[in-house]
Amino acid sequence: MNHLLCGLAANPNLPPGLVDRLIGIADDDLAAELAARADLSRTQTTVLAARGDEIAARLAYEGWLTASDVDPLVQPRAALALLDQGAGRPEWARLLASDPDPERREKLAACPDLPPDVVATLGTDPEIRVVAELALWTTTPDTAARFAEHPHAEVRCAVAANEKAPPAVLAGLVGPAGGTGPPPARRCLVCDRERTPFVHDPSCPRTDCDLPAGASCDGSHESTVRDMRQRAVCNPATPVDAVLRFAEHPSMVMRGALAARPDLPAHVFRRLAEDLVPGVRAALAENPAIDEALMRVLATDNGHDVRRGLAHNPNVPLDVLTHLAGATRIGPVLLPRIAGASPAEIASLAASPVPGARMLVAARRDLPPGIRDALAADPDAKVVASVAPHPGLSEARLRAMADRHGGRVVTGVAANPDTPAELLEDLARPQRAVRRALRDIARHRNATARALLPCLADARARHVAAGHPALPERTIVELLEDDDRQVVEAAAANPSLPGAVMSRLGLRATTGDS
């Protein structure tokens, strides 16, 4: 990859003539950058699409190409991209259904609204992954039902994850206690390739082996059947009565998947709340369908992940959340319950004696000015750090926050969209700079050259600052010779790069001197 040319291709101020030059020499990487431009002309799009099928597919996904622009014989990937978006032609699907490349047929199998004859062709494809992909995405109940009885377990496993499959079909794949359902599968990916019994070594040294870690088969295709049942348990279309027995399943993964379902009876929720594995209880705690009484029980759980999961439950009572904020490390994130809080609840949380509760409400970005300013003056640094990026804070208040709490809130102040240039310059000074804040300063819309130049000294902020249009032109040009390729690419993409330099780089590229 030529990072300099890729950066230049992304530069929004690149003159049309230079875009033409780069299109003329584009490899796959350069063409991908050019395809992402918003200012391509019709002629440029056509010429760029002719550079190769991969880039034509990218242009199709970007909305630059239509069905009239694509020949599926020459550009099958572009044709697939349009089919995937429902913008292709039925005859393309018929053509690609017999494409010699199984990856293309697999991609086709995932496309919507395929003609019935194409579905029939793909349903008998010799590559089982093509059939499985079709089973995963089909929206036709009869097709899903037929695939649920496919002799290969991998196809059935795909049906189990299909939310459009009929509930009765999914219930059969789960394997209800009564024993009804399709007859046992005859094959799986493991016994297709290995002599059974076989268990795939997670540290398998074979470079050509793509079996999942732990895949196994003793003749019953057990790892694929396990995955199939887990997918069916996670599938909301699977009838709840068919999955209740998994509350006692020996696999914690299966019980955890069940715990996340919102349609379980109350007695099953209570059973899962007693599970010995914290991960299962954590999945249950985050489930919005559990009742308040169970939430209060889980709030006293010894498992940190359980309490943290409960804090992320959108229906957790506010007093429970306040308790959790004081006893659990949650972090300054906007929790669903906080995002949905009423004005009265916001005011109550902001006045809470629990600093953790004030920190949580401070994560909102639509606080009334009075509450916002009160939180900005909070004595607790974590509360101030949480509210620091809130729009609308005055320069005086932002400066006071940074002066009072130092590095604990400087990052939030630097991320505030209203932080003025003078304060950013002050925060970037080497005597005061906080490394974590430099990247935010480097990308800030108000950053000046005086604020950006110190950012260039930090390895993590350097490439961000290199793309900022407020950098001096001389500095941008110097960065084109940087040892860090990310920095070079960012500098080349900088919209303040002088036009003469762009022209010189474009000329060097087309003459082979780049």
Residue 361 has pLDDT above 80, yes or no: yes
Percent of the chain with pLDDT over 70: 98
Residue 170 has pLDDT above 70, yes or no: yes
- pLDDT tens-digit profile of 294-350? 999 999 999 999 999 999 999 999 999 999 998 888 888 999 999 999 999 999 999
Res 327: pLDDT: 86
Is-contact 403 424, C-beta < 8 A?
no
Residue 194 has pLDDT above 80, yes or no: yes
Query: Tokens 């076989």 — which residue?
Result: 198
CA distances to 60, 65, 131, 134 from 86, in Å: 12, 13, 20, 16
Report d(CA 220, CA 180) in Å as an integer: 17
Interacting residues of 35 by C-beta distance below 8 A, sequence separation 6+: 48, 55, 58, 59, 62, 64
Element (DSSP H or E) covering residue 391? none
Mean pLDDT of all residues in 442-454: 97
Q: Place 514 in a pLDDT band, splitting at 50, 70 and 90.
A: very low
Res 178: pLDDT: 43
- pLDDT tens-digit profile of 71-122? 999 999 999 999 999 999 999 999 999 999 999 999 999 999 999 999 999 9
Res 176: pLDDT: 55
pTM of the model: 0.87
Average pLDDT, rounded, for the chain: 93
Q: Beta 216-217 vs 198-199: how paired, if at all?
A: antiparallel
Res 1: pLDDT: 63
How far, rounded to the nearest angstrom, does the alpha carbon of residue 311 sit from its chain's CA centroid?
22
**Both ends of the chain: CA-CA distance in Å?**
12
Element (DSSP H or E) covering residue 32? helix 28-35
How far, rounded to the nearest angstrom, does the alpha carbon of residue 502 sit from its chain's CA centroid?
34
